[in-house]
Structure 1
Amino acid sequence: MAVSRSGAAVEDLEDAVEGGEQPASWADEREIDSFERFVRDFHAGRVNPEEFRKFRLQHGVYGQRQQDVQMVRVKIPWGGLTAAQLERLADLAERTPRGVAHVTTRQNVQYHFVPLAEAEVFMRALAEAGLTTREACGNTVRNVTVGHCAGVCPREAFDPTPYADAVARFLLRNPMNQNLPRKFKIAFSGCADDTGLTPIHDVGARAVLGPGAAGTARGFVVVLGGGLGPAPRFAEPLEPFTPAADLLPTVAAIVRVFDRHGNRENRNLARLKFVVKKLGIDAVRALVLKVREGLRATMAFPAVTPWEEQPPSPRALEASAPIAPDAACSRWRASAVLPQKQRGYAAVHVRLVRGDATGPQLRAVAALARALGDGRVRTSNQQNLILRWIPVEALPAAYAALDAVGLALPGAERLVDVTSCPGADTCQLGITSSRGLALALSETIERELPDLADAPGLRIKISGCPNSCGQHHVAAIGLYGGARKFHGEQAPTYQLLVGARLGGEAPRYARPLARIPARQVPAAVVALLALYRGERAAGEAFDGFVDRVGLERLAAVVEPWSELPPSADAPDGYLDWGADQPFALATGPGECAA
């Protein structure tokens, strides 16, 4: 049910006003025609499987571990969606067996179990709404992401969204981006909080104000060569300050250097971070600056027109009695609502358990965006949705509307909000069911550690394999899937890592602590968090607690959960989460991680 700003129902959604101009479409119908022809040629034997695999990945269609079905990934540049686009995503969710759309850690939306014959139908439906799957997978520049608070953050230097939009549009379908050595990821942030997670990307750009002809000027701290996976590396600065006018040629130069120097022989060493490791950061900087100089002289780059977030147009909406907040609403407001820099408005986190939302839930969020907000929604890199421009006085009404569809969940981006990749449920590289563990951990935290559930800055992130699509390296408690034999029988396990620190003078990735059987992970995590709750100093963050207490003691705390008895004594210990059959290590050829 949609509601007015005062809490009244909006019966006719067609009358709800969607604020602002419609964004230019990301779609191109001609390439969907090409995709349809390519599928026909593949089935007729005129295209070999490897050529077809490369083509469909370039168009956002990714093979699952299940035969004859695909994952379709929708590219959502900077996470920006209109209410109408969200409704189209809802329509498509209902065409899938699970009936859900899945928000990823790259702000994309994925659909699973889509037959290949249906992929073209999905693409055309998306194109009608201005959305595309192009270059959401494959050896291309992937979705350009932005921290979800950009444009409304009280601490930002300026809104980086227009610049991210310009980068995404410049690179989409650009010939320089069609056959890179490996995937390439770009992220933006507007403030020092760095919600865009720029250090873990091939290119990160954080908005700053620097010296200019008329005082201060817009620009970016551009970093390059970051990435996660089995060999995580933090990105390093290109130069002290990159003027905003130089952003596009700078990004283009970095992409071109990667295209020329990336490893095309060994896929496992093909990311930009390995170019930096091999050549050294100083040599890579020199290459980028030289290429940038040449591009400035030979290539015309489009001008970037900044825009500012604007409040929605005033609407005459039906008045109704105010909605009295209760304890649940108060908890939600304390942990899911952020004040905007624009006085009188708030941004609302819509927490999606495991990143999933049903068609009716997406439609309810779209209706709420129209009725109370600016008619737009953003996806976040924490697998949630964000409503912006909600009047503070309308927050109880927003809560009621979300609660009606099961989305008024507290704890967004807090401990209880566990991040996970799709894992072995669908991914060919997945070893364990990260989604099953994520749900179990979230429920365990609510039940056994309710006083920590909404703790800020304390996150759990899970990947079903070492590739870190769930971003386990940057979590307070990170977990990635594996397998080990106990008493001669194989069981699913997780490597437990602790104490990541992204900001400050000494950033670090989470450090390995112990290897825990999958079914015993919740108990081990509860033991760690109970120790933190009981022995932390006043105001002590988890990473500081890890430093003070030490890895040796923490390992001793979880050691009781590191072994399994024989399966005859504990058969459930040898099962994965959500499974009723014995665990078997089964992975396939990966096509693109995240």
Structure 2
Amino acid sequence: MQSFRTELENPIVERDIIELEQKIRLFREGKIPDEKFRSLRLARGVYGQRQPGVQMVRIKLPYGKMTLAQWKRISDISDEFSTGNLHLTTRQDIQVHFVSLDRTPELWSQLEQDDITIREACGNTVRNITASDAAGIDPDEPFDVTPYADAAFRYFLRNPICQDMGRKFKMSFSSSDKDTAFAYMHDVGVIPKIQLIDGKEVRGFKVMIAGGLGAQPQLAKVAFEFLPADQLIPYIESVLRVFDRHGERSSRHKARMKFLVQKIGMEAFEELVKEEFTAVKNKVVPIDADAWIATEPSETPGALPAYTIENPQQFEQWKKTNVFEQKQAGFFGAYVRVLLGNISSDISRLLIEKLQPVIADDVRVTVNQGLLLKFIRGEHLAYVYSQLEAVGLAAPGFNSVADITACPGTDTCNLGISSSTGIAVALEQVIQEEYPGLIYNTDIKIKISGCMNSCGQHGMANIGFHGSSMKSKGKVLPALQVLLGGGTMGNGAGRVADKVLKVPSKRGPDVLRSVLNDYATNLQEGELFNDYYDRRGERYFYDLLKPLADLTTLQDEDFIDWGQANDFATAIGVGECAGVVIDLIATLLYEAEEKLLLATESITAGAYADAIYHAYSCFVQSAKALLLDDGVSCNTQISIINDFEKHFEETRRFPVSNFKDMVLEINKQEPSAAFAEQYFQQAKEFYKASQQYRANKTAQTVNA
């Protein structure tokens, strides 16, 4: 592996990239264990694929925004390092696949030339912060949430409190009470509100916490009906500190924040959050939204090139379903349906070239894997449509029944059980050919995941599917779990879909036909789908679909998954949605030493809150190393602190006193220079004593 040189203006970013290159080299040389290296690369957006020897790189686009230059940069990157495909995700990221691990630092370096990062796009970190794609132009919004989402992204990127948590952490900013960013399914989800306080309009947010999908969905709880905007980031910081200290770390299936709140209760959780407030870096974080450089409308272009519209009827449908008038008079937003979220680099560059004169320099990736083009003048809509039509991206029905969301599933993901992309294409074909009028129906959402983990968000769909398997006559066949009745209700309320039954995957189109036909035949006037589902009940739909689950009538094709030629076989690998537990003693002590170095740098830079948290991490990592070396399992940071006191301090096996009180001073002191220096010195002494204890124990073992 050859090293490379970067020429970036940001020394922090440059250091990150050089560090990744160095760690890859050490990993190749066998000097970093696989578990540790996996955790490190995930936090830098590098994710293992189903196919051995190649990586998926996740590009982090806060609130889904990319300039045209960034879109072109990503397209060029995909050509050079990947396959020429850009995959748009439900978290408004872009993923490129089949990347060589050794080339990821160079890829990252090229992205950063247009201020694009992959840092903390994966792993046990704060993932990409999503937001309503129409934020800033939404006619229903009380104010633009974009500056607040951007501030949160920048505040928590590389923040010591959220670099190696027990599990990933997801946030969203909705633009209005319609909750189009799904506050109810996030660790922290917010909805903008304005309150009249002392005769003045004050901006703030309704705050939801501890939601999540996955195999065990849980709706978020209301933390605040109204929290002033300048208090939002300090509150989130306190929440993250509690999650980092008290969250599960042994069992990844119980490590999301929703399980912590479920375990200790909302009241106890809120008390812990309040206890952390003393130690947060800033008590208020005001956002000067008026100074925010908002998206500018496109300049009035000169004469546009000649163009033609091949399908005028579809153009009219497209205007009705994909176009909306912005809150800025005279301008329109236009949505682009992207099948399976996959758009090629060639088409991307062509659209950038053709559309640049008539759209804003601000394209948003949407949460249903499409694109939003902004600030289009009414007289330019036909031209925009013609360019989309020329590249096959002018399908009407954005965000309708016909616009199906699906994760990559078994195409590239280790956790995929059965194909999600193949069934998504088949279902879209059914709607296009048999139910063309449903392009106008935006009430029903169809979402598909390749497994139960809900990357395709099937758990919140009106009609959802996730990949599974079934057995018949000693053979395994691909299957779909059918879910019904989920969805967004608005203002932070949502519904989790019910699991109805499991069917062979090839019968998925018949499931859709049965449900849609039954709804069309029996609905009452004006009845929305979920109201109809509630009136009929889960058992009714189980009985309706039960014949499709009959395994006595299987055909040979039922044993072959969508898009495959051979019989189905489950091939689930090791999931990488988060880091794994590191249980190597030397590695833990090495990490503790790294935290001390970071603390030293932070003190020198005057970043006292960061220094304190690095020192805290040194305490925890050192104590965890000695506990694990003693055979004591460690599942939360607070249990590490308690167990160390019990096993080492109370038994007088280790030269320390009042260990717990000393460590937990972190949430009792303001982050001052004096406390930072004191706490750092205590952590340094504890680390040295831990190293000596470990060395003595090893020597005794060798001499025994």
Please indicate, yes or no, whether the TM-score normalized by the shorter chain is above 0.5.
yes
Counting matched residue pairs gives 567
The residue number in structure 1 matching 2:563 is 578
The residue number in structure 1 matching 2:152 is 167
Amino acid at match of 1:391: R
Q: 1:472 to 1:312 in 2, by over 3 A?
A: same
Contact 1:184 1:271 in 2 (8 A): yes
Cα distance in 1 for residues equivalent to 2:476 and 2:10:
49
The residue number in structure 2 matching 1:277 is 262
Cα distance in 2 for residues equivalent to 1:439 and 1:25:
43
The residue number in structure 1 matching 2:457 is 471
Q: 1:368 to 1:277 in 2, by over 3 A?
A: farther
Contact 2:179 2:490 in 1 (8 A): no
Amino acid at match of 2:287: V
Cα distance in 2 for residues equivalent to 1:540 and 1:40:
61
Classify the secondary structure of the residue corresponding to 2:224: coil
2:41 maps to which of 50, 56, 72: 56
Task: Using the TM superposition, give the Cα deviation of residue 525 of structure 1 relative to its aligned residue in structure 2, in angstroms.
Answer: 0.9
Task: Using the TM superposition, give the Cα deviation of residue 222 of structure 1 relative to its aligned residue in structure 2, in angstroms.
Answer: 0.8
The residue number in structure 1 matching 2:480 is 494
The residue number in structure 1 matching 2:407 is 421
Task: Using the TM superposition, give the Cα deviation of residue 130 of structure 1 relative to its aligned residue in structure 2, in angstroms.
Answer: 0.9
Cα distance in 2 for residues equivalent to 1:173 and 1:575:
45
The residue number in structure 2 matching 1:522 is 509
Matched, 1:314 2:299: yes
Classify the secondary structure of the residue corresponding to 1:398: helix
Task: Using the TM superposition, give the Cα deviation of residue 503 of structure 1 relative to its aligned residue in structure 2, in angstroms.
Answer: 1.2
TM-score normalised by the chain length of structure 2: 0.78
Task: Using the TM superposition, give the Cα deviation of residue 45 of structure 1 relative to its aligned residue in structure 2, in angstroms.
Answer: 1.5
Cα distance in 1 for residues equivalent to 2:490 and 2:540:
25
Classify the secondary structure of the residue corresponding to 1:484: strand
Contact 2:230 2:285 in 1 (8 A): no
The residue number in structure 2 matching 1:564 is 551
- Unaligned 5+ segments in structure 2 are 1-8, 580-704
1:118 maps to which of 103, 106, 110: 103
Higher relative contact order (CA 8 A, sep 6+): 1
The residue number in structure 2 matching 1:456 is 442
Cα distance in 2 for residues equivalent to 1:302 and 1:111:
35
Classify the secondary structure of the residue corresponding to 2:225: coil
The residue number in structure 1 matching 2:350 is 364
Amino acid at match of 2:537: G
The residue number in structure 2 matching 1:10 is none
Contact 1:492 1:576 in 2 (8 A): yes
- Which protein is bigger by CA-based radius of gyration? 2
The residue number in structure 1 matching 2:173 is 188
Amino acid at match of 1:545: Y
Q: 1:124 to 1:564 in 2, by over 3 A?
A: same
Contact 1:415 1:453 in 2 (8 A): yes
- Unaligned 5+ segments in structure 1 are 1-23
Q: In the TM superposition, what are the counterparts of 1:134-145 in structure 2 within 5 Å?
A: 134-145=119-130
Task: Using the TM superposition, give the Cα deviation of residue 105 of structure 1 relative to its aligned residue in structure 2, in angstroms.
Answer: 0.6
Contact 1:515 1:562 in 2 (8 A): yes
2:216 maps to which of 231, 241, 264: 231
Cα distance in 2 for residues equivalent to 1:255 and 1:222:
14
Structure 1 residues 264-298: Cα deviation after superposition (integer angstroms, max 9, x where no partner):
12111111101110111122122223323x146x5
Amino acid at match of 1:525: L
Q: In the TM superposition, what are the counterparts of 1:37-436 in structure 2 within 5 Å?
A: 37-95=22-80, 98-292=83-277, 294-295=278-279, 299=282, 303-306=286-289, 307=292, 309=294, 311-312=296-297, 314-318=299-303, 326-436=312-422
Cα distance in 2 for residues equivalent to 1:440 and 1:487:
27
Contact 2:397 2:403 in 1 (8 A): yes
TM-score normalised by the chain length of structure 1: 0.92
Q: In the TM superposition, what are the counterparts of 1:530-569 in structure 2 within 5 Å?
A: 530-565=517-552
Contact 1:469 1:593 in 2 (8 A): no
Task: Using the TM superposition, give the Cα deviation of residue 593 of structure 1 relative to its aligned residue in structure 2, in angstroms.
Answer: 6.7
Task: Using the TM superposition, give the Cα deviation of residue 338 of structure 1 relative to its aligned residue in structure 2, in angstroms.
Answer: 1.6
Classify the secondary structure of the residue corresponding to 2:489: coil
The residue number in structure 2 matching 1:444 is 430
Structure 1 residues 137-170: Cα deviation after superposition (integer angstroms, max 9, x where no partner):
0000000110111111111111111001000000
Task: Using the TM superposition, give the Cα deviation of residue 319 of structure 1 relative to its aligned residue in structure 2, in angstroms.
Answer: 5.5
Contact 1:68 1:115 in 2 (8 A): yes
Cα distance in 2 for residues equivalent to 1:593 and 1:36:
21
Classify the secondary structure of the residue corresponding to 1:159: coil
Contact 1:262 1:271 in 2 (8 A): yes
Amino acid at match of 2:528: A
Q: 1:341 to 1:74 in 2, by over 3 A?
A: same
2:499 maps to which of 496, 512, 519: 512
Task: Using the TM superposition, give the Cα deviation of residue 27 of structure 1 relative to its aligned residue in structure 2, in angstroms.
Answer: 8.2
Cα distance in 2 for residues equivalent to 1:71 and 1:465:
18
Classify the secondary structure of the residue corresponding to 2:488: coil
Q: 1:451 to 1:78 in 2, by over 3 A?
A: same
Q: 1:416 to 1:95 in 2, by over 3 A?
A: farther
Structure 1 residues 276-331: Cα deviation after superposition (integer angstroms, max 9, x where no partner):
10111122122223323x146x5476542213745425334115778677101111
Task: Using the TM superposition, give the Cα deviation of residue 227 of structure 1 relative to its aligned residue in structure 2, in angstroms.
Answer: 0.2
Structure 1 residues 363-394: Cα deviation after superposition (integer angstroms, max 9, x where no partner):
23323552111111011111111111111221
Structure 1 residues 425-482: Cα deviation after superposition (integer angstroms, max 9, x where no partner):
1111110111111111111111111122331121110111111111001111011111
Contact 1:149 1:195 in 2 (8 A): no
Cα distance in 2 for residues equivalent to 1:244 and 1:575:
53
Cα distance in 2 for residues equivalent to 1:194 and 1:182:
25
Q: 1:253 to 1:97 in 2, by over 3 A?
A: closer
Amino acid at match of 2:485: G
Cα distance in 1 for residues equivalent to 2:418 and 2:12:
35
Contact 2:299 2:357 in 1 (8 A): no
Classify the secondary structure of the residue corresponding to 2:343: strand
Task: Using the TM superposition, give the Cα deviation of residue 343 of structure 1 relative to its aligned residue in structure 2, in angstroms.
Answer: 1.2
Cα distance in 2 for residues equivalent to 1:345 and 1:460:
30
Structure 1 residues 490-533: Cα deviation after superposition (integer angstroms, max 9, x where no partner):
10111101111321697421111121100111111111111112
How much identity, in percent, do the aligned residues show?
39
Cα distance in 2 for residues equivalent to 1:401 and 1:160:
31
Cα distance in 1 for residues equivalent to 2:149 and 2:518:
42
Contact 1:366 1:377 in 2 (8 A): no
